[in-house]
Amino acid sequence: MNYYPSAVRVDCPHYDERINDSDVSLLVIHNISLPPEEFGGDGIRGLFTGTLDISAHSFYAQLKGVKVSAHCVIYRDGQIEQYVPFSHRAWHAGLSSFQGVSRCNDYSIGIELEGTDTLAYTAAQYDALVELTCFIRKAYPRITLGRIVGHNDIAPGRKTDPGIAFDWAYFRQQVNRNI
């Protein structure tokens, strides 16, 4: 299952082949807002598709030439866009390690939530994330609850997302109810 059926597919050039699709065993939850702490614009899509207009906001200048992606983005209204097929390697984790194994992009799926570390995520985002997580776990059963982590868990000291605003207990309870 390369795509989530309910997602809007968006072409993205920032990904490559996985070494082994059967190695997928980690789900990484991130947050993103572009410009920072602003929602609803086309900045995220522009960044992940390589079409970000760096003159549109002063913050964007530092993103010139950056090539990043995630498998999916969940917007504040719960809409999901998919940028990279699950069978391929998205460029979301950067310098990372989980349980002593580096290069998390090789064996993970990355989900971005439109948000910030300190602003509560929406009910629509949690609903969409739970459904997407259950779908992914059926396709990749090596992703157990203990292997669903935040970006901060795989890049401590470098990353803080999804932040203190993310309700891990609620999210995990909802995933358990829907298995």
Which CATH number belongs to the domain containing residue 131 in this structure? 3.40.80.10
Tell me how many domains the chain contains. 1
Contacts of 178 (CB under 8 A, 6+ apart): 130, 131, 134
- Among 17, 37, 112, 131, the active-site one is 112
pLDDT value for 109: 98
pLDDT value for 22: 81
Q: Looking at the domain assignment, is residue 2 inside a domain?
A: no
Q: Looking at the domain assignment, is residue 21 inside a domain?
A: yes
Each residue's pLDDT tens digit in the chain (179 positions)?
Answer: 799 999 999 999 999 999 887 899 999 999 999 999 999 999 999 999 999 999 999 999 999 999 999 999 999 999 999 999 999 999 999 999 999 999 999 999 999 999 999 999 999 999 999 999 999 999 999 999 999 999 999 999 999 999 999 999 999 999 998 87
Q: Looking at the domain assignment, is residue 117 inside a domain?
A: yes
CA 7, chain centre distance (Å): 13
> Strands 26-32 and 72-74: what pairing?
unpaired
pLDDT value for 126: 98
Domain span including residue 85: 8-177
Q: Looking at the domain assignment, is residue 1 inside a domain?
A: no
What is the spatial distance between Cα 2 and Cα 84, in angstroms, rounded to a whole number? 8
What is the spatial distance between Cα 19 and Cα 34, in angstroms, rounded to a whole number? 31
pLDDT value for 40: 95
Q: Looking at the domain assignment, is residue 3 inside a domain?
A: no
Q: Looking at the domain assignment, is residue 27 inside a domain?
A: yes
Cα end-to-end span (Å), the chain: 18
Of the candidates 44, 144, 32, 24, the one whose C-alpha atom is nearest the C-alpha of residue 89 is 24
Q: Looking at the domain assignment, is residue 74 inside a domain?
A: yes
17 a catalytic residue: no
Q: Centre a 10 Å sphere on the Cβ of residue 96 and count the other Cβ atoms it contains.
A: 23
How buried is 175 (Cβ within 10 angstroms: 0-12 exposed, 13-18 middle, 19+ buried)? middle
Q: Looking at the domain assignment, is residue 121 inside a domain?
A: yes
What is the spatial distance between Cα 72 and Cα 80, in angstroms, rounded to a whole number? 7
